[in-house]
Structure 1
């Protein structure tokens, strides 16, 4: 059984608005994303106060680091006092990164059909492309090593893998799971709840 963990997805980015596949492209959060991060920090302050004994960890991407720093500031904590873990970076979309599905289809009709059939197992073209299953295998060692209460700021794909690991959510359902940017996900006693 894992310890108490609060997961937060990074705040909104321009690429989220445009429907661009961000993956491991290093993008920044918008003003709305900053509001979301501040809101989640205030929510965490209500839930856990100053978080005595908690570990704070984020993906090393700019959008997750800024989100974490805003969360900590909203909690009344030193913004930079957290660590990063490269295993928490988003799934890599390979050659598709930076494009919308409309753009991909316009360049090569039918190119996204295989992903629609098996979004969890699909590996985008390009040497660095990853499937959600590959992402899960990258995240699992980090998740299984958790020993103390933790606040984690990561990405939608990472949070989808958590649902697979904790609830054994079917791959098709996990791949299509909406992951809000303005809510906190709590893992307690083997159960996940959006707050």
Structure 2
């Protein structure tokens, strides 16, 4: 079962190193360019089979705009896709909007605890999640995929896929760089294939 997984294009918060989580931050100009280029890349990869894929995105604005730019670059109706709430980014709780250096100055012990056990760490805040909790949502979504799919989501979702499909350790998965200008090709049942 082939899945092409795309992280949304860059936002200003990404460029500043701010924990974005579930805040609805829009793409910047670089992010719009990345989204369009990923659409061109996918069009070359999928060719005439592109229209037969299912297209799904996280409901946040940055992922929806990325999907619409990807589909437009592929020559497909930009709005003919669906959203799935299971694909929304990890919640960083009270830390959303902050950078790690900013948090280090006010709560160094919590930042150090996160660095030691990043996969299982839950930031402060009522809605905050660990990567482990996020992976439960992602695992349920992966099990529901029943046709070849193009998905636009977030860095945390991709890291969960590294863990679930790739079989990586939690700490290795959440420390991996997830580029915004590439497309990850996976076989849900056979493992990670690689970056386009």
Q: TM-score category by the smaller chain?
A: over 0.9
Corresponding residue of 1:190:
190
Mapped partners of 2:56, 2:113: distance in 1: 34
Paired residue total: 193
Q: What does 1:33-182 correspond to in 2, within 5 Å?
A: 33-50=31-48, 51-182=50-181
Mapped partners of 1:168, 1:27: distance in 2: 31
What SS does structure 1 have at the residue aligned with 2:165?
helix
Mapped partners of 2:177, 2:36: distance in 1: 21
Mapped partners of 1:114, 1:191: distance in 2: 31
Normalising by structure 1, we get a TM-score of 0.96
1:16 corresponds to which of 9, 14, 27: 14
Mapped partners of 2:47, 2:39: distance in 1: 10
Which structure has greater helix proportion? Answer: 2
Mapped partners of 2:131, 2:98: distance in 1: 18
Preserved contact between residue 23 and residue 93 of structure 1 (Cα < 8 Å): yes
1:21-58 deviations in whole A, cap 9, x for unaligned?
00000000111101100100000000112513210000
Please say which of residues 101-110 and 65-74 is displaced more in the overlay: 101-110
Normalising by structure 2, we get a TM-score of 0.96
What is the aligned-residue RMSD (CA, Å)? 1.0
Gapped runs of 5+ residues in structure 1?
none
C-alpha displacement of 1:138: 1.1
Gapped runs of 5+ residues in structure 2?
none
Mapped partners of 2:41, 2:3: distance in 1: 14
